[in-house]
Each structure stands twice: as C-alpha cells, then as structure tokens.
Amino acid sequence: MHPAFQIPMLSNPKLNRRKVLQLGGMSMLAGAGFGSLLQAGPKINSGNNKAKSVILVNLFGGPSHIDTFDMKPDAPKEIRGEFKPIASKIPGYQICEHLPLIASRLDKTTLIRTVSHGYNSHNPYSVLTGFTGGSDRENYFAKPSDHPSMAAVCQHFGMGKEATPFHVVMPAFPGFSQGLRRAGPYGGYLGKQYDPITTMCEPAFARKGSFYDPVLPVGDPVLAAFGQTPGLSLDRIADRKRLQRKMDDVSKKIGDPAKSANLTRQQKQAYDLLTSSGVRTALDLDMEPSLLRERYGKNLYGSSLLAARRLVEAGVTFVTVNWECGADSHGGHWDMHNNNFGMLKFNLPILDTMVTALMDDLEMRGLFDSTLVIVTGEMGRTPRINGSAGRDHWPQCGFCLLFGAGIKKGFVLGKSDRQAAYPVDHPVSPGDLCATVYTLLGIDSEAVAHDTLGRPTAISHGGRPIQSILG
C-alpha cells in the first residue's frame, strides 16, 4: 500500500495503521448512525418533502468557478485563463469546453454562480453544516462541539428508516488522505449516534503523482473492518469478496448467544451494521453491468458515485461523495494553487462523466424526481491567475450545481462581476443552501437544535430557502 494511505494519528505518532483504523475508521460505527438507534428530536414536517434522499458531491479544495461555470471570455487573459466556453442546453449560456456532457444536460439543472461567504477553509464544514462563523484553525479537526451536519440534523428530527444507515460518506472521511479527520459530516454536539457510516478505500495508481500532478485513483469504496471482529484482517480490506466471506463468518458468530453475550451494546451495533446484507450488496459494484460502470468511470470517484446511487436505491437518505483521496501524493483534489489548468484538464472530464452518468441513471430508474443531487466545493478560486499558473483561495464567489428532487430545470441563479470576484446579485450562503435542502426534505428550515449545554441553535445558521430555484 502506498504511504499516502498509511494514516498516522497526529496526536500519537506511535500508533500504527492497524490501530488508527480501529480507533478512527470504526469509532464512528460504534455509535452507528441508523434509525433504530436514534434518540430522535421532535419530528418536523413542513409538508414540502419533495426529496427522499440527497447525494452531495464535495469537490475538496475549492474548484475554480471562473474556469468551469462562470467563465469570463471577455476579461483580460490573466483573469479569463486558457479555457474556451461552449454553448449549453440553456439558451445563451456557456460553460467550460471540458464539460461537454454537462453542457448538453444543463437544461435539467439549476446552476448557482454566486455562492459567497467568508470561511476560508478546506474543511467541508460550511458545505455540510451551513455554518461559516468559525475559522480554519478552530475547525481543522472534527470535534464533539462542532455543529452537526445537515444529515445529522435531519436524522435528529426523525427522518430515515429503521435499520437502514442514514448517512454514508464515501470513499473515505474528509482528511483521510492527509492523516486527519476534518470537520463537517458528523453529529457534532448532537452526539456520535448521528455520525455517518464511512467507507474506506485502498486505490491503486498507475504511477506516483504529486500535489499538482494528479493521477487517477482506481478502486472501489468498501466497508471498513471493525477492529475487534474475530478473524477479520484490517490490512487488505480492498478484497471485497474475501471481506464478504469474513462478514458471513462474523454474522454466524454473532448469532451464537455465547459469543454475543460478551459484546458491549456499541460493539453489537457495529456488528449489526457490518453484517447487514443490504449495505454490503449496495457496495458490490460487480453486480452492475460493465457498460454502466464504464459510463460512470472505473475510478474511485466514479465508483463512489455509482455506489451512492445504489445506496439511495437501498433506502439510504444521505450520501456524501468526497473527492479527495490521494491529495498529498497523487493530486486527487481541487486546491489548485499551481498548475490550475493542467489539473482541471485532468479533473473536469472525470467530473463531467460521473455527474452526467448519475443524472442519466437516476432518470432511467425513476429516481430523478425523488433524489436531490448537489455538486459543489467549499470555495471558489481567485479571479487573477498567480505566478505559478494557479488560482488561490476565494470564498467570496463560487458555484453550486443542483438537480433532481424539487429543483427548477434550466435555471441559472446569480451574476458575478466582470472578473467573477463578487456577486452582483443574489448572493447565496452555505446556510441558504442548507435551508433549501431542509425545505426539500420536509424539515422546517427555521427550526433549532440544542447543543450539549441545552442552548438552542438555528439549524440553518441564518440561512433562508432559495425559493427561486425550487421547481
């Protein structure tokens, strides 16, 4: 296995990978986030539950808005960059030449060009919670006092089916490739019972890349191994078929009263999840036709998005696909301070393929009108190209692409200035996006949740539903 995936525990360098996976990868499973284990908050139903599930694609690092969906072809070269615009299915609207498939289906989406805030951090904290009042320093690592994710809030308010995982993060938790656990997708002050189920990955690479030289990761997301499971190897979890056989063995052992009597309640919950045939089946991508796998892209990101569709089909409410894996040594990210255009030439066709494959797949299966899909990152990039042919952090203006349940089709919201630096009209905050998601799921966006000290906190953090994008 490549050193990039030998995750150190930063607070204790003596811990080996096996222990890290035991403590980190599966600690979330101990308080498994599925409906039967909830101590639910009050049920809230606004009567507008058009969405039954959400798939959120998090483009870790902050994708350039000006080189994708908010191009400025008439701006000076140091602003507009080297990419050319092409026509889309929305009359009179153009997007990047490296997104031809999305361009041909843009009439099925809503595009927001004016996502704006002041939270300059790579954590998906703002994207997944709607909160932008912190700082990168205080939110670098996930902690129990964090604000809960949208998924955690919805689960707290009574959404989801019993015995079904509510929120799954794939192919790994944010920060995985850097040996840390970033804030964002967790239960936070609501408690660990609202943490997501997190898959793991051990992708293969054709060669060694670098931070600004991306290499395609090949592999599938897999269920993590529970560290105390008898006879279960933590070293080679990528072998899905062998993992399934191990899980079958575990299931038999758990069925033995003598064995199960020695388990703690938390261990039993984790075992129940790991031995769930529904979850394992949803992650068995070999069950899909080869042509469909090729359509999504047989790489870690495309496979994760295909698995996300399968999980939604199986009844999971929230799935977060985190495009990050290999950030340190294989360039699997969107933080393009250097070689912006070279990296985008690599990333954008992958994104183009997988997003449109999901769109077509949801339509074919009758899931398009019940599944809300969100594609975004934590920020945009600077309008002006820097001296290293890159663009730097710019939370003041970014994009969000939405389609599916309850979303208006063929609609573009917001306009930026001539350099794509600031919104000219209709600025949208992460809180607004969260409020919109809550509304589509039937949750009152003005509701409050109570932290560990009993203090009420607005779940949308001052955001309001974006009524103009609701279909």
Look up residue 253 and give its amino acid. Answer: K
CB 54 within 8 A of CB 317: yes
Q: For residue 248, tell me if it sits in a domain.
A: no
Phi-psi region of 47 (alpha: psi -120 to 50; beta: other; left: phi over 0): left
Name 319's bridge partners: 55, 168
Instruction: State the pLDDT at residue 327.
Output: 78
Q: For residue 258, tell me if it sits in a domain.
A: no
Distance CA 348, CA 63 (A): 10
CA neighbours closer than 13 Å in the CB half-sphere of residue 295: 15
pLDDT at residue 16 tops 70: no
Q: For residue 233, tell me if it sits in a domain.
A: no
Main-chain phi, psi angles of 334, to 5 degrees: -125, 15
Q: What is the pLDDT of residues 307-333, one digit of tens each?
A: 999 999 999 999 999 999 887 789 999
Distance CA 434, CA 287 (A): 34
* Structure-model confidence comparison of residues 49 and 430, the more confident one: 430
Distance CA 71, CA 381 (A): 12
pLDDT at residue 17 tops 70: no
Q: What is the pLDDT of residues 207-232, one digit of tens each?
A: 999 999 999 999 999 987 544 232 22
Domain count, the chain: 1
Cα–chain center distance at 143: 19
Q: Where are the beta strands (DSSP E) in 154-196?
A: 167-170
Terminal CA-to-CA distance of the chain, rounded, Å?
47
Instruction: State the pLDDT at residue 60.
Output: 95
Name 223's bridge partners: 199
Distance CA 96, CA 99 (A): 6
CB 271 within 8 A of CB 261: no
pLDDT at residue 66 tops 60: yes
Q: For residue 188, tell me if it sits in a domain.
A: yes
| Cβ-proximal residues to 208 (8 Å cutoff; 6+ apart), any chain | 2, 215, 329, 330
| Cβ-proximal residues to 12 (8 Å cutoff; 6+ apart), any chain | none
Instruction: State the pLDDT at residue 109.
Output: 98
Q: What is the mean pLDDT of the chain?
A: 83
What's the pTM value of the predicted model, to 2 decimals? 0.84
Cα–chain center distance at 132: 18
Burial (CB count within 10 angstroms: exposed 0-12, middle 13-18, buried 19+), residue 452: exposed
Look up residue 19 and give its amino acid. Answer: K
Q: Which two three-digit tokens encode residue 406?
A: 């309850």
- Kindly give the pairing relationship between strand 53-59 and strand 318-323: parallel
Q: Which two three-digit tokens encode residue 318?
A: 């929230």
Distance CA 340, CA 345 (A): 9
Task: Determine the structural domain holding residue 411 and report its residue range.
Answer: 31-221+283-469
pLDDT at residue 159 tops 80: yes
Instruction: State the pLDDT at residue 134.
Output: 83
Look up residue 294 and give its amino acid. Answer: E
CB contact burial 456-467 (16+ within 10 A = b; e otherwise): eebbbbebebbe
Q: For residue 8, tell me if it sits in a domain.
A: no
Distance CA 200, CA 220 (A): 9
Cα–chain center distance at 149: 11
Q: For residue 249, tell me if it sits in a domain.
A: no
Which DSSP string do the residues of 330-359 spell out, in sequence order? T--SS--SS-HHHHHHHHHHHHHHHHHHHH
pLDDT at residue 254 tops 70: no
Q: For residue 244, tell me if it sits in a domain.
A: no
Distance CA 155, CA 342 (A): 41
Look up residue 343 and give its amino acid. Answer: M
* Structure-model confidence comparison of residues 462 and 264, the more confident one: 462
The pLDDT > 70 percentage for the chain reads 78
| Cβ-proximal residues to 126 (8 Å cutoff; 6+ apart), any chain | 117, 119, 132, 378, 430
Cβ count within 10 A of residue 439:
24
Q: For residue 428, tell me if it sits in a domain.
A: yes
Q: Which two three-digit tokens encode residue 147?
A: 């604000």
Cβ count within 10 A of residue 260:
13
Q: 365 to each of 244, 271, 312, 406, how far by Cα in Å?
A: 27, 31, 11, 17
Instruction: State the pLDDT at residue 225.
Output: 57
The CATH code of the domain that includes 442 is: 3.40.720.10
Distance CA 336, CA 326 (A): 14
